[in-house]
Amino acid sequence: MTRRAALLSACILFAGAAAAGFFVAYRYTDASSSGRLGTQGVAIRPDARVIGSLRPDFSLPDLSGRVRYAGEWDGRVLAVNFWATWCPPCRKEIPEFIRLQEKYGGRGLQFVGIALEQPEAVRSFVAELGMNYPVLTGTLEVVRVAEAYGNNVGALPFTAIIDRAGIISFIRAGPLSGQSAEAAILPLL
């Protein structure tokens, strides 16, 4: 098997595993709560031990291939959202994040979207929605970053909010409404 074929097989396997993780989190997590029992009585919780800890560093490429670093946004309230174009709840929450970025960007808020896909799959989606914040992409490296931010359940979407000092103050596995995101962000601005 060629290296390219092996990489493609690994990506397909990973995408399937990610989709399964998303399904489990979406199906069993009550979207209005985090860290409680889902509708079927199954606990789906991100690793809350990361709350209060310093945000992990990461470096991932943006849509133009330029490597971006978490430290670029130091001193701002950072909302890191892990998503994919094939994830319906991800697609639903992104317009709210666009609105919040527009509303609070001048006060120090910075959303960063991290897509669990290759850039080719993301570019048209970003243009279609008019995303007004940086979008980074990747596959296995994105999973590692998500895990470092507390996504131990493999859920998409997954959002972490970091204060100006770089401390993780909020995480959510599963969909996040604009109202809930705003409530988590406002005290940090």
Averaged over 144-171, what is the pLDDT? Answer: 95
Domain 3-188, what architecture?
3-Layer(aba) Sandwich (3.40)
**Contact (Cβ atoms closer than 8 angstroms) between residue 44 and residue 174:** yes
Joined tokens for residue 47: 């690793």
So what's the pLDDT on residue 1?
62
Higher pLDDT, 100 or 36: 100
So what's the pLDDT on residue 40?
36
Averaged over 142-163, what is the pLDDT? Answer: 95
So what's the pLDDT on residue 25?
42
So what's the pLDDT on residue 185?
98
Please check the confidence at residue 101 and state whether its pLDDT lies above 90. Answer: yes
Averaged over 132-161, what is the pLDDT? Answer: 95
Q: Please give the share of the chain, as a percent, with pLDDT higher than 70.
A: 77
d(CA 88, CA 29) in angstroms, rounded, equals 15
In the block, tokens 């000092």 appear at: 165
- The counts of H helices and E strands in the chain are 5, 7
So what's the pLDDT on residue 180?
96
* Burial bucket for residue 84 (CB in 10 Å: 0-12, 13-18, 19+): buried
Higher pLDDT, 164 or 121: 164
The radius of gyration of the chain's CA atoms, rounded to the nearest angstrom, is: 16
d(CA 136, CA 66) in angstroms, rounded, equals 9
Please check the confidence at residue 141 and state whether its pLDDT lies above 60. Answer: yes
Please check the confidence at residue 119 and state whether its pLDDT lies above 90. Answer: yes
Please check the confidence at residue 12 and state whether its pLDDT lies above 70. Answer: no
pTM score of the predicted model: 0.77
List pLDDT tens digits, range 17-75.
444 444 434 433 433 334 333 333 334 577 778 999 999 999 999 999 999 999 999 99
Residue whose C-alpha is closest to residue 154's, from 43, 11, 25: 25
So what's the pLDDT on residue 4?
60
- Amino acid 164 reads R
Give the start-to-end residue ranges of the domains of the chain.
3-188
